[in-house]
A = this chain, B = another copy of it.
């Protein structure tokens, strides 16, 4: 199955470089813009149908530009993973390694906590075997080096590891997914707690940068947190 049955459809995937008509080019931008917003908000699970409508376009237009969702994801997230690499490089440039480490964590977690799609690209591995994986691989060694430096300077607890970083990302992401809609930026509160737990110099408690949810907000978060529907939509 899936032979070359491309009769006039799918021209983009056959001649991907032919210049587009002006309207088409503009619509391509619209699609990327909508996709960026929706992936960030709802993760890679959004349908191309959703993205199309959010861009004010039909579904077919999306599929004409991007043969499938993976192509769109790669087109979008290559840039964002490069941003991660840049953050890690910049963090290494600090002379005070603890400051660098803070910069790194803040940078990585800001990018990833606030973009669910990016988080899923970084934390997952499925279906993405191409350029994105190569880019992802570049981040780890930088983090490792920075952690070594911060530990050598005695600022970061010795038993912390580079491989803890993705897990912390997942955790910050969970906080964000749980109550980010109710209180954007709440993840910073929990990251601040974690950072305090990573610091060797334990003379101070960093004040938490955000208020906790109040009772009503927590209730809202619980209502909004849909994991799996339990029963049919019934009355």
Which residues of A approach B to under 8 Å, CB–CB? Answer: 1-2, 43-45, 68-70, 73, 120, 123-128, 157, 159-161, 163-164, 166-168, 170-175, 177-179, 186, 189-190, 192-198, 200, 202-205, 207-208, 212-215, 217-219, 222-223, 225-231, 234-235
Contacts and interface: CB of A to CB of B under 8 A. Distances in A.
Contact of A124 (B69, B126, B225): B225
Nearest to A116: B227
A69 B230 contact: yes
Contacts of A128: 230
Contacts of A73: 230
Given A222-B124, A227-B45, A230-B127, A167 B190 contact: yes
B213 A205 contact: no
- For this chain, the copies found in one complex come to 2
A193 B202 contact: no
A198 B214 CA distance: 19
Q: Which of A166, A196, A197 has its CB near the most chain B CB atoms (within 10 A)?
A: A197
B235 A2 contact: yes
B190 A193 contact: no
A177 B73 CA distance: 24
Q: Which of A128, A164, A219, A229 has its CB near the most chain B CB atoms (within 10 A)?
A: A164
A45 to B, nearest CB: 3
Contacts of A69: 230-231
Nearest to A201: B202
B167 A227 contact: no
